Copies of this chain bind each other. A is one copy, B any other.
């Protein structure tokens, strides 16, 4: 195939894939510490290349690109990251990279997008996507999102739910309700009503959820039209909705920056789940118009170095199940290790299940289990004034 043909084919495929009136809202304001020492305040997970050449936010955009209407990618981030993100996503219009004047969790972020888009095209479907998750099966992901968009266009609020594989206490859970009849466009995707949202459970509850088979993890990915979400915000978060509506009204005027900076910090800092989805589910599953689609596309939120290790090891042909990113490496009687030291020769001798991560100024040495506690290192560095390392 000539280069020209190849381009033409890609272009027409993209056109076929495009779902009319679809906007991607990519949430990129996070500032985690779980990937220290690689992640830092100004360099959180979403702008790092953890599992390949591209950064997590680049992968996020790449995944949704074929679904999105022209020019309808929106990034919600902050001052610290906006420049880096603009550089990493050169195709995204600068005016669509919104800098929150203060972090206010996901409800104001999603709500702002809804009020902005409601003014010009209320029936546009907004797909909300965190920028720091990995998805192994991109084709399946796109099919599920397309199906979700179809439901959303009919007025539904759709959440993508992942079947739990362990009694995780760090996630919100969705109790699934009745199965409804499959979508015309893609009958292979099961659709469930949502009975209830449950915030992070304790271990006992999490085990029960896992056993019951009737719960899904809340992936933090949602689909709804601008109008549906704006109305829901007005109903369940009237104060924040009024503030966001004023901000949206100032959009395009010289006063926008000032209004945004003044009003946004007054919004309640609350997750979209708590703010809208939980109260909505209280109407009862038959009336709430809340639906859950299966996030069965090898999803991971990469919550730790151990999770990254697992993710990469599953995908790569990994020698002795060590994953070693290094200039060169030698392994002797070692298994289950994750090592990142891209410019050096790494030698593993008689070690098991370790995580070692080297950057220009730091080395983390822990175990797969211990990697859950990396936040404690960052906390200690902060408390001892070593902000240069956080």
Contacts and interface: CB of A to CB of B under 8 A. Distances in A.
Size category of the binding interface on chain A? 35 or more
A377 B364 contact: no
Interface in A355-384: 356, 358, 361-367, 369-371, 373-374, 376-377, 380-381
A346 B362 CA distance: 6
Interface stretch (A43-51, A118-126, A256-264, A336-344): A336-344
A362 B347 contact: yes
Quickly give the copy total for this chain.
2
A374 B346 contact: no
Contacts of A350: 366-367, 369-370, 373
A333 interface: yes
Contacts of A369: 350
A320 interface: no
Contact of A345 (B341, B362, B371): B362
A363 B349 contact: no
B339 A365 contact: yes
Given A333-B370, A349-B377, A386-B328, A344 B365 contact: no
A341 B359 CA distance: 12
Contacts of A380: 330, 332
A101 to B, nearest CB: 32
A350 B306 CA distance: 14
Given A350-B369, A351-B365, 13 more contacts: A327-B361, A328-B386, A328-B389, A332-B376, A332-B380, A337-B365, A344-B361, A347-B363, A347-B365, A349-B367, A351-B354, A351-B367, A358-B363
11 contacts: A36-B347, A326-B363, A327-B361, A330-B380, A332-B377, A348-B365, A349-B365, A349-B373, A351-B354, A351-B366, A356-B365
Query: Nearest 6 CB-CB pairs, A to B?
Result: A350-B370, A349-B366, A345-B362, A347-B377, A349-B370, A347-B364
